[in-house]
Amino acid sequence: PATWVLCNHDITRTVTRYGREDTSFAFTSKAFGVPSDLELGTRRARAAALLSLALPGSVYLYQGEELGLPEADVPLDRIQDPMYFRSQGRAPGRDGCRTPLPWAADEPYAGFGSTVEPWLPLPDDWAAHAADLQATDPASMLALYREALR
């Protein structure tokens, strides 16, 4: 049987990638300053999720897809990915899709631990994507995945 994957730990997150002119799955599509229409990307990611979940075979979800997380802009002084350093800082690397998940909107570090700062920062606006908020919103990305997987 086939397996279906929209995103993984090496490529730009689906919401961000689908909001760009070039929506390719390649690592080379990662670059600094590439504009993305996140509203468009979210609509496309919702459609792609429903399509992939309707296909025969297995679906693999990358952590955060079910929350509709965009690619994080990791500050240059916090980047840890060797790809960034090997490119002499020309490529942002993969840290933007490897950040911790926002679990609780009103908790320190969005619920990803409360006493120790995570290895990568969570964007300030990610509280809006927190799982606890989406769990009660019938129009959220999390609700879409839950309903589609029933």
DSSP 28-97: GG--TT----HHHHHHHHHHHHHHHHHSSSEEEPPTTGGGTPPPP---GGG---HHHHHTTTSS--SGGG
**CATH number of the domain to which 135 belongs:** 3.20.20.80
pLDDT (0 to 100) of residue 113: 84
Give Cβ neighbours of residue 44 (< 8 Å, ≥ 6 apart): 18, 19, 23
Q: Which residues of 12-48 are buried (b: 16+ CB within 10 A; e: fewer)?
A: bbbbbbbbbeebeeeeeebeeebebeeeebbebbbeb
pLDDT (0 to 100) of residue 29: 63
- Token couple for 115: 């006493």
The whole-model pTM stands at 0.91
pLDDT (0 to 100) of residue 27: 63
State the total domains in the chain.
Answer: 1
pLDDT (0 to 100) of residue 49: 98
Q: Which domain holds residue 108?
A: 3-148
The pLDDT tens digits along the chain (150 residues) read: 899 999 999 999 999 999 998 888 766 667 777 889 999 999 999 999 999 999 999 999 999 999 999 999 999 999 999 999 999 998 889 999 999 999 999 999 999 887 889 999 999 999 999 999 999 999 999 999 999 999
| 67 neighbors 142 (Cβ within 8 angstroms) | yes
pLDDT (0 to 100) of residue 71: 95
pLDDT (0 to 100) of residue 28: 61
